[in-house]
Amino acid sequence: MDCDHDDPESVVLCFIAAMHQWELDSHAARRAARDTADPYSYQPAIVSAMAHVFSQFCTPKPRPHGRNASFQNPPEYNPDHESIQSSATQGRAASVYTHRDSVFGGLFRYTLKRIDNRWLIDTLWQRNDDDSESPAVL
């Protein structure tokens, strides 16, 4: 999927697709390594692959409470089950609101920043039942 870094919605959709593929690949790598001499041998490759996805679509910053290369099966990110509901841009900041129809679903808000003439995801928030928001693991 070609990503238009001039469009916050495009960046979010590309990130969702890239993370979906990363989760599928990570699960396959874990299964392949499961019966080897080192069942954790897959981890360096998936950490590197996740870092590559983040370097393409996310702001460069420490994420001490971030994903830490954890993945789900079925995948948490799935372009077939997450759709954009709306978006808003104000100067060098943007918000893209999505709905995830899955086990890890609900309403989400991706916040993006314009850095070096391209939009990058900075944070992810999940809407709670009382309409408040909580940080979600990005």
Query: Is residue 14 a part of any domain in this protein?
Result: yes
Residue 112 is part of which domain span?
A: 8-135
Q: Which of 76, 63, 138, 64 is nearest to 103 (CA)?
A: 76
Query: Is residue 3 a part of any domain in this protein?
Result: no
Q: In the prediction, which pLDDT does 115 show?
A: 97
Query: Is residue 2 a part of any domain in this protein?
Result: no
Query: Is residue 1 a part of any domain in this protein?
Result: no
Tokens of 73: 């099966």
Q: In the prediction, which pLDDT does 1 show?
A: 67
Query: Is residue 25 a part of any domain in this protein?
Result: yes
For the stretch 113-122, pLDDT in tens is 999 999 999 9
Q: In the prediction, which pLDDT does 7 show?
A: 98
Q: How many domains does the chain have?
A: 1
Torsion of CA 75, 15, 61, 126, to 10 degrees: -60
Measured in residues, the chain has a length of 138
Residues near 81 by Cβ (< 8 Å), separated by ≥ 6?
Answer: 100, 101, 102, 105
Which CATH number is 24's domain given?
3.10.450
For the stretch 65-113, pLDDT in tens is 778 888 988 999 999 999 999 999 999 999 999 999 976 678 999 999 9
Amino acid at site 65: H
Query: Is residue 94 a part of any domain in this protein?
Result: yes
For the stretch 7-49, pLDDT in tens is 999 999 999 999 999 999 999 999 999 989 999 999 999 999 9
